[in-house]
């Protein structure tokens, strides 16, 4: 390197602000000053924002108000994408008013190309050129999360909570040093801190555990965002947009110094239980039930089969997402002759509680601890599912808080 020339390396940071962080003008101003502080460090900053808290729900409500079931999903996305259009523009203006050059981008303007699965589209690729150019001009790029454009050039949305995925995908496409997810809690906790008061903030969590926690209901990060971060090795940090506190870093397993057997407990009220009673206990019966469900695009999660004492008839219990319950029942009714069953029962008032931890690979006894803790509280288990690093149980919804707190204590996770 010639004398007098020094290597200039600019840090590129992606920040994401969720709905509560941009819920009104005061909060948007406070986000703007946080962005300004990052810019003052000499960093290039791309900011992904969500719609104002509650606004996406309102938009969904309007669509459902006109047509609850058979609506055109491309038009649904056209409506839903509008929430983020408001906040990107407002944040860009808020930044400009405090002397920070900025411009806003809708998903398509920022190069987010997705597939055509309206309502839960997947990002296929991002052309980072427009955002890069904006950053190179010394401006903050403010990008609408949750949206992209399909091959047919229709607007798409990425599924609820999808701004997290927009942020991680953008960080990967730009090769950003960090992706900071600012939200209304100051990190990832051992359980939802709004329900479990004794939940502890984790300094670090592995991608794998975060992936399980998210897919099992911990909505602090959208599941796809974690999968994407893991795949592209994006350094994700979850932290508060309201306080200057250290957050939680999502890392590889090797980066965890002291590992616990159980890292967290998640819950999901998004499940519904279906029981098919009196099916004959013969080969092919499970295929006869689950085939038509899968053909209709209905995902089945937990499955339990119990055989009657005479060995002739069985009962089959499984869960589907609550939103899919009416369709699942209709499918079973249509396939009744083919399956051959006595009756179908359903219960939407259930909750799935899951204990997660990479330490469960090498330690036994968590299942027993979980079942005995629930038994001691008189909580009945309707179904069980396990994987290498998690155990899930299905219980009555009314026991959610009780079960979460009892399991949190039993697994030794309570804050002192
Ligand atoms: P944003 O609008 O910023 O995207 P979300 O509402 O999507 O925020 O996610 C943050 C919420 O996730 C928190 O308010 C909290 O109630 C919930 N949550 C659930 N499980 C956890 C957990 N294990 N740790 C932290 N937050 C959790
Ligand atoms: N606004 C969208 C939602 O409410 C996306 C997001 O907040 O991440 O789901
Ligand atoms: Mg969210």
pLDDT averaged per 10 residues in sequence order, the chain, 416 residues: 54 98 98 98 98 98 88 96 98 98 98 96 98 98 98 98 98 98 98 97 95 96 98 97 96 82 95 95 90 93 85 92 93 94 97 94 91 98 94 97 98 94
How many whole angstroms from its chain centre is CA 272? Answer: 19
Residues with CB under 6 A from ligand 1: 18-21, 50, 161, 183-185, 188-189, 191-194, 218-220, 264
Residue closest via CA to ligand 1's atom 17 equals 220
Distance separating alpha carbons of residues 68 and 279, to the nearest angstrom = 33
Residue bearing the CA closest to ligand 2, atom 8: 161
Rounded distance between C-alpha atoms, residue 399 and residue 214, angstroms: 21
Q: What is the pLDDT of residue 4?
A: 42
Q: Give the pLDDT of residue 310.
A: 77
- Cβ pair 104, 144 in contact under 8 A: yes
Burial 214-248 (b: 16+ CB within 10 A, else e): bbbbbbbbbbbbbbbbbeeebebbbbbbbeeeebb
Closest-lying ligand 2 atom to the alpha carbon of residue 51: 1
**How far apart are alpha carbons 47 and 52 in whole angstroms?**
15
Query: Parallel, antiparallel, or unpaired: how do β-strands 383-387 and 390-396 relate?
Result: antiparallel
Ligand 2 probe mutation, 47, 76, 81, 145, most atoms within 8 A of CB: 145
CB count within 10 Å of CB 67 equals 11
Tokens of 79: 């409506």
Closest C-alpha among 182, 179, 245 to residue 12: 179
Full-model pTM: 0.92
pLDDT attached to residue 5: 44
**Contact of 314 with 306, CB cutoff 8 Å:** yes
Ligand 2 atom closest to Cα of 161?
Answer: 8
Going from the N-terminus, what domains does the chain have, and what CATH number goes with each? 12-184 (3.40.1160.10), 272-347 (3.30.70.260)
Supply 284's token pair. 């092919």
Contact 146, 166 (CB under 8 A): yes
Instruction: Find residue 155's DSSP bridge partners.
Output: 149
Phi, psi dihedral angles at 90 (to 5 degrees): -65, -40
- Calculate how far, in angstroms, residue 389's C-alpha sits from the geometric centre of ligand 1: 22
Rounded Cα–Cα distance for residues 17 and 27 (Å): 10
19 Cα nearest atom in ligand 2: 7
Quote the tokens at residue 285.
């019966």
Q: Which of 123, 163, 222 to mutate to test the pocket of ligand 2 (most atoms within 8 A of CB)?
A: 163
Mutate to test the pocket of ligand 1, among 146, 192, 196, 408 (most ligand atoms within 8 A of CB): 192
> Could you tell me the two tokens for 377?
């509280």
Residue in the block written with tokens 């939200």: 183
Query: What gap in Å lies between CA 54 and CA 5, rounded to an integer?
Result: 51
Residue owning the nearest CA to atom 5 of ligand 2: 161
- Atom nearest to 146 CA in ligand 2: 5
The first and second tokens of residue 198, run together, are 């004794």
pLDDT reported for residue 241: 96
Q: Residue for token digits 């499955």?
A: 303
Query: Three-class SS string for the chain?
Result: CCCCCCCCCCCEEEEEECHHHHCCHHHHHHHHHHHHHHHHCCCEEEEEECCCCCHHHHHHHHHHHHCCCCCCHHHHHHHHCHHHHHHHHHHHHHHHHCCCCEEEECCCCCCEEECCCCCCCCEEEECCHHHHHHHHCCCEEEEECCEEECCCCCEEECCCCCHHHHHHHHHHHHCCCEEEEEECCCCCECCCCCCCCCCCECCEEEHHHHHHHHHCCCCCCCHHHHHHHHHHCCCEEEEECCCCCCCEEEECHHHCCCCCCCCEEEEECCEEEEEEEEEECCCCHHHHHHHHHHHCCCCCCCEEEEECCCCCEEEEEEEEEHHHHHHHHHHHHHCHHHHCCCEEEEECCEEEEEEECHHHHCCCCHHHHHHHHHHHCCCCCCEEEEECCEEEEEEEHHHHHHHHHHHHHHCCCCCC
């Amino acid at each position: 390197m010639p004398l007098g020339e020094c290597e200039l390396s600019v840090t590129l940071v992606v920040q994401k602000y969720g709905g509560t962080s941009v819920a009104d003008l005061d909060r948007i101003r406070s986000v703007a000053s946080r962005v300004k502080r990052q810019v003052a460090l000499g960093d290039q900053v791309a900011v992904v924002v969500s719609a104002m808290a509650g606004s996406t729900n309102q938009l969904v409500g309007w669509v459902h108000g006109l047509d609850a079931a058979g609506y055109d999903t491309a038009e649904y996305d056209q409506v839903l994408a509008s929430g983020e259009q408001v906040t990107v523009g407002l944040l860009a203006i808020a930044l400009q008013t405090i002397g920070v050059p900025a411009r806003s981008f809708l998903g398509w303007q920022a190069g987010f190309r997705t597939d055509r699965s309206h309502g839960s589209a997947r990002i296929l690729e991002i052309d980072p050129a427009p955002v890069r150019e904006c950053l190179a001009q010394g401006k903050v790029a403010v990008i609408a999360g949750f949206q992209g454009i399909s091959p047919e050039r229709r607007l798409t949305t990425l599924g609820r909570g999808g701004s997290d995925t927009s942020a991680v995908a953008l960080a990967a496409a730009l090769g950003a040093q960090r992706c900071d997810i600012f939200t209304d809690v100051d990190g990832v906790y051992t359980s939802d801190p709004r329900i479990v008061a004794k939940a502890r903030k984790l300094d670090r969590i592995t991608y794998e555990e975060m992936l399980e926690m998210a897919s099992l209901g911990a909505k602090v990060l959208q599941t796809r965002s974690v999968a994407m971060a893991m795949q592209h090795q994006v350094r994700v940090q979850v932290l508060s947009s309201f306080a200057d506190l250290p957050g939680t870093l999502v890392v590889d397993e090797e980066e965890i110094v002291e590992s616990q057997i159980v890292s967290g407990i998640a819950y999901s009220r998004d499940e519904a239980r279906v029981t098919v009673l009196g099916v004959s206990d013969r080969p092919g019966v499970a295929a006869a039930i689950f085939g038509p469900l899968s053909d209709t695009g209905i995902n089945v999660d937990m499955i339990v089969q119990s055989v009657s004492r005479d060995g002739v008839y069985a009962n089959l219990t499984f869960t589907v997402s609550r939103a899919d319950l009416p369709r699942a029942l209709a499918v079973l009714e249509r396939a009744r002759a083919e399956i051959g069953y006595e009756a179908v029962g359903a219960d939407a008032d259930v909750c799935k509680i899951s204990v997660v931890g990479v330490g469960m690979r090498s330690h036994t006894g968590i299942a027993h601890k979980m079942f005995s803790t629930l038994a001691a509280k008189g909580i009945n288990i309707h179904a069980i599912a396990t994987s290498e690093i998690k155990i899930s149980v299905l219980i009555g919804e009314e026991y959610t808080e009780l079960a979460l707190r009892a399991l949190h204590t039993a697994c030794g996770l309570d804050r002192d």
